[in-house]
Amino acid sequence: MRSPEVKEADAGDAVPVCSLRVGTALFGIETRQIREVLGTAEPQRVPLAPEYIAGVLSYRGEVLTTVSFRALLGLEKWDGANCVLVFDDAENEERFGLMVDGVVGVIAVQQDALEANPSGLDARSQELFDGAYKLPAGLMVRLDPQRLRPSRLAESGLFGSESGSHGRLK
């Protein structure tokens, strides 16, 4: 995993976006929304928890519920290195973690490169994604941490309630 590095923003309305890798796809979250990036972490699994809960981590004396983004995308569990990002849940004043495969870096993205979700998306993707940045190299899907809050995921009911086969895979 490369350490995040900030490239110079070259335009006035460019925002720094942290680019993340999950599987083969690239995702971006605005850096101002990220509280902290933890290195590889091994969350403690919680039996009977929804499939998309990777587990709990001890973070600054709190118990941090961590969401597995792979599970949300319906990908197989992965044993390699991972990276946990910490966000503040604005609604419940509770922090939560998001487990991704890795952080690629921080890039400055022009706001006009952002386009809203297209209408053809399936319900799950519509729920998870928050538009996409049209980058020269390809699309980077924008994520809104507030959409990935564990409590919101549970309410949506789209992502299964109890751990199925996924949680037991090695």
In 3D, which of 158, 35, 42, 29 has the Cα closest to residue 99?
Answer: 42
| Residue type for position 154 | A
Q: How far is the CB of 166 from other proteins (least distance, A)?
A: 12
| Residue type for position 140 | M
Residue whose CB is less far from other proteins, 61 or 80:
61
Q: How far is the CB of 40 from other proteins (least distance, A)?
A: 15
Burial (Cβ within 10 Å: 0-12, 13-18, ≥19) of residue 52: buried
Residues 17 to 46 in contact with other proteins, rule: CB under 8 A = 44-46
Q: Which of 8, 10, 13, 61 binds other proteins (CB under 8 A)?
A: 61
Q: What are phi and psi of 113, to 5 degrees?
A: -80, -5
Strand, helix or coil for residue 101: coil
Give the angle 122-83-115 at the CA atoms, nearest 5°.
Answer: 35
Q: How far is the CB of 114 from other proteins (least distance, A)?
A: 30
Q: How far is the CB of 84 from other proteins (least distance, A)?
A: 14
Examine residue 90 and tell whether it contacts other proteins (CB under 8 A): no
Examine residue 48 and tell whether it contacts other proteins (CB under 8 A): yes
Dump strand ranges (E) for 23-121.
25-30, 36-38, 53-59, 62-68, 83-89, 94-100, 102-110, 114-115
Examine residue 49 and tell whether it contacts other proteins (CB under 8 A): yes
Residue whose CB is less far from other proteins, 40 or 151:
151
Strand, helix or coil for residue 147: helix
Q: How far is the CB of 46 from other proteins (least distance, A)?
A: 6
Examine residue 168 and tell whether it contacts other proteins (CB under 8 A): yes
**What is the binding site for other proteins (CB under 8 A)?**
44-50, 53, 56-58, 61-63, 65, 92, 94, 96, 150-151, 153-154, 163, 168
